[in-house]
Amino acid sequence: MDQGGQLDNLSPILSDQVLVNGTAVPLTLTGDGKLRFLGQRQRCLTVEKEVLGFAVEEGSRIRIKAVVEEREGICCCGNRGDLVRESFVFEPLSEDSLALWSQKLRDYIDSLGRPKRLLIFLNPFGGKKSATKIFSEDVKPYLEDADIQITVIETKHQLHAKEVAKTMDLSKYDGIVCVSGDGILVEVVNGLLEREDWSAAINMPIGMVPAGTGNGMVKSLLHAAGEQCCVYNAILAVIRGYKHSLDVATISQGKTRFFSVLMLAWGLIADIDIESEKYRWMGSARLDFYAIQRIFYLRHYNGRICFVPAPGFEDYGEPMSFHCRPTDEESPKQEESLKTQQHGYLGSDVKLEDMHWRTISGPFVSVWLHNVPWGSEDVMAAPNAKFSDGYLDLIMVKGLPKLALLSMMSNMNDGSHVESPYVTYIKVKAFILEPGTRVEDPTKEGIIDSDGEVIARGNVTYKGNQKPLMAYDKVQITVDQGLATLFAPK
């Protein structure tokens, strides 16, 4: 048995003869994490990327649990792309060798910084109500192979995940995983930031497994790494433990705050996102279906936007002076929110009055702010958006012909809609929205939608089941660069 020196990454950590299918073959674990052995043919597994975990079985055997590229003769269960779970079994020739292999494999896997204890949120009501099935059939087997301890919570009502995140014992977990759409992620982030120990809590890594209607965040993460947006790629990103920082936007009105990680919309996109809820049974197709209705009965909204442009976008809009923050008086419906947020994160302390502001007045068809590229699995809303650049991408549309709008909307699947001459696409550091009435009917107002939730709605508009967090009035958005942490592909 050779326990090689570790002078470089190619030196063997351990090399020994083992039995594979009753035949003695050489097996080597190298310093760069390659597990090389001979079976019917030479095999090499990269521990960091391909090995989920291992188990010591009766008879002094070690079973390596891995994910490998699908090979001829191996059937992949369901639509899993080009990876498949597979086991490789070997038997050390002595008890000492068995103990040493177990120790060296465990030491190397532990050195990768992978999570060992995860809190899992399942949203059984999201999308096509398939989260429980997705977890049991597609997620749990991977976590078991990786020997990760899990605590599973099935959300019972809206804001359930937020309540748990706000009070959970952080010391019990190495991360949180949301088997859901984007809504549970938003709840978790808001819950962590409303804690008294928010500065420590927000460092808790959060993973996403697509099981909802939109799945914009996990699509953005996987697409950025050149990977297909599917369940197994998402859970592998969690198991491997790679992390990526994420900007968090603070939407504020007076002292009321909402923390956004995906987007804010007002006008056409908000109307489609929220008013299409009555067609939720259609899954993601509800968005396309209702978009056609809204395009042919197009609404225009009075209002104004103010923004601090990123470098390179200073020529958009007209210059203005920043006088004060949005309304400092809270309405009665905001009082309960204030009580729960007074000990949490208060938002960026950036001095807005020292920044160079620009303004654009309506009417508007749509105002859309995005933090990440994808709004859903098939809508690339902001192709130039970055996860932690400290900016939001603003996609704004004013007047345009309906046919041009229909063409523009059909190009959202690849992000080319931003190239339309009717689209203004810029990056901003801070933003103020002053929403107004509909041009066609001044008695009616609009919806302010953030991350799929109504945070404000005006007169004679969409009737939701819950009171919105804010009034249909001026709201302010600032960005905290890299505040949150996500599990992400490398």
Catalytic residues: 182
The Cα 415–Cα 372 span in angstroms is 12
The CA distances from residue 87 to 28, 51, 100, 425, in Å, are 17, 9, 20, 49
The Cα 475–Cα 450 span in angstroms is 12
> 431 with 352: CB under 8 angstroms?
no
- The verdict on whether omega for the bond into residue 363 sits within 30 degrees of 0, i.e. cis, is yes
The β-bridge relationship of strands 175-180 and 117-122 is parallel
The β-bridge relationship of strands 23-30 and 12-20 is antiparallel
Where residue 453 falls (left for φ over 0; alpha for ψ -120 to 50; beta otherwise) is: beta
How far from chain centre, in Å, is Cα 351?
A: 29
Task: Pull the structure tokens for residue 126.
Answer: 């999201």
- Give every CB contact of residue 442 below 8 A, 6+ residues apart in sequence: 302
Task: Pull the structure tokens for residue 160.
Answer: 């359930």
402 C-beta neighbours (distance < 10 Å), count: 11
| Residues comprising the chain, all counted | 490
- Give every CB contact of residue 422 below 8 A, 6+ residues apart in sequence: 397, 398, 399, 400, 404, 405, 408
The closest alpha carbon to 376, from 293, 284, 295, belongs to 284
The Cα 479–Cα 372 span in angstroms is 13
The Cα 115–Cα 355 span in angstroms is 41
The Cα 483–Cα 388 span in angstroms is 8
The Cα 147–Cα 161 span in angstroms is 25
The Cα 434–Cα 455 span in angstroms is 14
Quote the radius of gyration of the chain (alpha carbons, Å).
26
The Cα 417–Cα 163 span in angstroms is 38
